[in-house]
Amino acid sequence: MAYVGTIPVLVTHSNIEGGIWPSGTANISQDPLVENEAEGDLRLLTGSPRIDAANNPVEIVPFRGEYYELIESRRSLVKNLIYPVPDPRFPFLGVHFTRMIGGGVEAGPNAVLSFKRDGYDRFNVSLRDCLSIASFAGSWRMMAKHWRMGLGEWHRSLSKRAFVTGLQKLIPQVTASDLKRAGSGVRAQAVEKTGALADDFRIIEHQNFIHVLNAPSPAATASLSIGEYIAKRAETQFAIDD
């Protein structure tokens, strides 16, 4: 048993470098060998003990979502959350209006292929990340299936007028002068080898690990019911007693 402060903690089925947890079932005490922990690049290096520790049917392809926000004098246009009817072919919601807790109103996002895993700007490019995307057959199959959608998203990225046209389907009164550029985010989208975009969690049990892949939204990531579901899977997988 290990302690965090004075609280006893039992850790099992984990890879913890240095063996700081002296007890627990199926722990691995090895360096996981990641690319650059200091810069947040946690991709595994050749020789990592976690490589091939699961049969992963998907690859992560980054998509950037870009936002505008309503100028303060036009925030009254939006009093609640406004969402379009989603296209069932894609896991993305489409552009929508979100009233924020601070009073601001976000409009967006689009969904464009990002050329860097942490590419929050359209000019961010990583040769390694581009090669990773290009070497995955699922990426090409995805683009072959959805090239029209992809071109449309890039059009909205490069043209404010096109972005506004999408928003006007929800609120016709919105004009380009009502909007200013805001932030962006990068979604770690799981793509299958067939080119299909995973639209839900992928939970894989393998050996002594449970891998949670493709967290589809911040709300889902924070869902207590999903946490309970994974905990129940862990009880069965690891024969954990209450």
Q: What is the DSSP letter of 94?
A: -
- What pLDDT is attached to residue 192? 92
Let me know: does 208 contact 13? Beta carbons within 8 Å. yes
Give the model confidence (pLDDT) of 140-161 as tens digits. 999 999 999 999 999 999 999 9
For domain 58-192, the CATH architecture is: 2-Layer Sandwich (3.30)
Domain ranges of the chain: 1-53, 58-192
- Residues, the chain: 242
Instruction: Report, as ranges of residue numbers, the positions in the chain whose pLDDT lies below 70.
Output: 1-28, 50-56, 207, 216, 218-219, 221, 241-242
Give the model confidence (pLDDT) of 83-119 as tens digits. 998 888 888 888 999 999 999 999 999 999 999 999 9
Transcribe 16-48 into DSSP letters: -TT--S---TT-B-S---EEEGGGTEEEEPTT-
